[in-house]
Each structure stands twice: as structure tokens, then as C-alpha cells.
């Protein structure tokens, strides 16, 4: 049996007195579409940033494909592509295509392989016409798509997306959903954080609901609805987060 895509064991992260993530343990299987839900400040971004090494855990362990995310960070990073919530693009002096080529370079991909890959992703994400544009010349939606293309440049096994559709209009959101589903159909693992419960219900096979850094519920959306006797995932979420009871 293969090791999980991501295994988080008793993760705890404190910022001074604030406990951002508190004793979080969960496993994400290979090929799974997994959602990380919770209100602002629930610990979603801290959790995924710990997985990719941008945040140092206070205690606990993270394994990616069985590799220790702290000790084997270089091998772990090869497996992961991440699109951050903030639009982080090295766009001061690089255009859209160059951003993708540099990204490939950081992952050790030689230019002869990187160039066709960048062109393929620019086409696929509808950015070919904008390949020579600087980041400031791109619309919000185009920047979001470029972020996703950047995360996919090295063809990672695991895609981590922090609020990928935040601020996206309906059309862009549907486009992004289709792209993510297509990526998932290739057998890749997706870890998604989102505020949109409809998005989680539509895309994710399992979700975890975090509140104040602690795991409040874990399971398939339908299973959570059933076990909480609710018709909508949103009601389950509100019950867990607000402690509302009918």
C-alpha cells in the first residue's frame, strides 16, 4: 500500500501566545481532491505553508509521499506545486512567459523542456496572447491563471491551492474548476483551501473543517451532511464554527 500524499501528525504552530494550528492530524491520500475549510484565522494557510516549508512547525511532523517535509525538503518540494492566495509573481522585470521559464529553472528543468511546457500552459490557460505582457498589464483573472500555470510548470504530483478562486468572477471560477478537475483526472492530488462551500462540495472528495486551529470535522461532504443531519454543507460549517444548534 502506498504512503499517503500528505500525512500531518500532531501539527502545532504558535505565534507567541496565539495558537494558529493545534494538534492537527490528518492524511490526504494520493490522487485525492481534498478541501481545507474554515473561517478566516482558522489555520488553513498556516497548515499549507507548513507543508511547503514556509512556516516552521512548533511541534509535530509532516510527511509528503513518506518523506519528512523538514529534513527532505528539496525532494518534497519537487512533488508539490503551490498557488498562493496572494498574487505573488516575480513581475518587476519578467513577462508572463519568462515567469514560467524561471519557475521551471528553479525546479531544475532545462530550457529545451521548459519552453514547450511554458507555451503549452500559456495556451491551455488562455494566456498565449499575453505571453510578453508584464504582470501589471494582466487582469486579475489572468494573474490567477498565470499563478496556476506557474504551480503546474514542473508537473507536480501534488497541487496545493490557497483560495484559488478568491475574487474570481463566475466565468473564471468555472474555468478554474474545469482545469482543476482535469488535473485531478490525471491522478494528481489536490489540496484546496476555500471559503466557498459550494466549491468544496462540488470538487472535493473529502474536506476538513478547521476552527481556531483545531480539526472540527473530517469526511466526505455528503457524509458530513448526513452525520450532522443537515441538508447543506454550509449549515454543517456554521454549526461547527458558530456552535449553532437548531
Partner 1 sequence: MIGFLTLLKREIVRFLKDALDTIVPPTVGVILFMLIFGLALGARLGEVDGVPYIQFVMPGLILISVIRNSFMNPAYSLFQSRWEGNIADFLVSPLSHTQIALAIILGGVLRGLIVGALVLCAALFLTDLPFAQPVLLFIYALAVSVGFAGLGCIVGLWTKGWEGVNTVNTFVLDPLVMLGGVFYSLEMVRGVPIIEPLTALNPLTYITEGFRQTVLGGSEAQMLTGLGLTLALGAICVGAALVLFRVGYHLKA
Nearest approach, Cβ of 10 to partner 1 (angstroms)? 19
> What percent helix, strand, coil does the chain show, rounded to 5?
40, 25, 35
Give 219's contacts (C-beta < 8 A, 6+ positions apart). Answer: 206, 207, 227
- The span from the CA of 6 to the CA of 24, in Å, is 13
What is residue 126's three-state secondary structure? Answer: coil
Binding string to partner 1 for residues 104 to 143, with x set by CB under 8 A, is what?
-xxxxxx---------------------------------
Q: Pick one of 19, 31, 55, 166: the residue that binds partner 1 (CB under 8 A).
A: 55
**Does 54 sit near partner 1 (CB under 8 A)?**
yes
**Does 77 sit near partner 1 (CB under 8 A)?**
yes
**Does 86 sit near partner 1 (CB under 8 A)?**
yes
**Does 39 sit near partner 1 (CB under 8 A)?**
no
Nearest approach, Cβ of 244 to partner 1 (angstroms)? 32
On whether the CB atoms of residues 157 and 188 are closer than 8 A, the answer is yes
Nearest approach, Cβ of 91 to partner 1 (angstroms)? 8
Side-chain-facing half-sphere of 129: CA atoms under 13 Å: 5
Helical (H) or strand (E) element with 104: helix 96-106
Given the rule CB under 8 A, which residues bind partner 1? 15, 46, 49, 52-56, 74-75, 77-78, 80, 82, 84, 86, 88-90, 92-93, 102-103, 105-110
Amino acid at each position: 500500500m502506498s504512503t499517503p500524499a500528505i500525512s500531518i501528525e500532531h501539527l502545532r504552530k504558535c505565534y507567541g501566545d496565539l495558537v494558529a494550528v493545534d494538534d492537527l492530524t490528518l492524511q490526504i491520500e494520493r490522487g485525492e481532491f481534498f478541501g481545507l475549510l474554515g473561517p478566516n484565522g482558522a489555520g488553513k494557510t498556516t497548515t499549507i505553508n507548513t507543508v511547503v516549508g514556509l512556516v516552521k512547525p512548533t511541534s509535530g511532523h509532516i510527511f509528503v509521499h513518506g518523506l519528512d517535509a523538514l529534513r527532505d525538503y528539496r525532494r518534497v518540494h519537487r512533488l508539490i506545486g503551490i498557488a498562493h492566495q496572494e498574487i505573488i509573481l516575480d513581475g518587476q522585470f519578467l513577462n508572463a512567459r519568462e515567469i514560467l521559464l524561471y519557475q521551471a529553472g528553479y525546479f531544475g528543468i532545462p530550457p529545451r523542456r521548459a519552453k514547450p511546457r511554458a507555451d503549452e500552459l500559456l495556451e491551455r490557460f488562455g494566456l498565449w496572447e499575453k505571453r510578453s505582457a508584464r504582470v501589471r498589464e494582466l487582469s486579475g483573472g489572468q494573474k490567477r491563471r498565470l499563478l496556476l500555470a506557474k504551480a503546474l510548470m514542473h508537473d507536480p504530483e501534488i497541487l496545493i491551492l490557497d483560495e484559488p478562486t478568491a475574487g474570481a468572477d463566475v466565468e473564471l471560477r468555472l474555468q478554474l474548476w474545469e482545469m482543476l478537475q482535469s488535473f485531478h483526472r490525471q491522478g494528481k492530488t489536490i489540496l484546496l483551501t476555500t471559503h466557498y462551500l459550494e466549491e468544496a462540495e462540488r470538487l472535493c472528495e473529502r474536506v476538513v473543517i478547521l476552527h481556531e486551529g483545531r480539526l472540527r470535522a473530517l469526511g466526505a461532504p455528503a457524509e458530513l451532511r448526513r452525520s450532522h443531519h443537515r441538508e447543506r454543507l454550509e449549515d454543517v460549517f456554521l454549526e461547527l464554527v458558530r456552535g449553532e444548534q437548531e
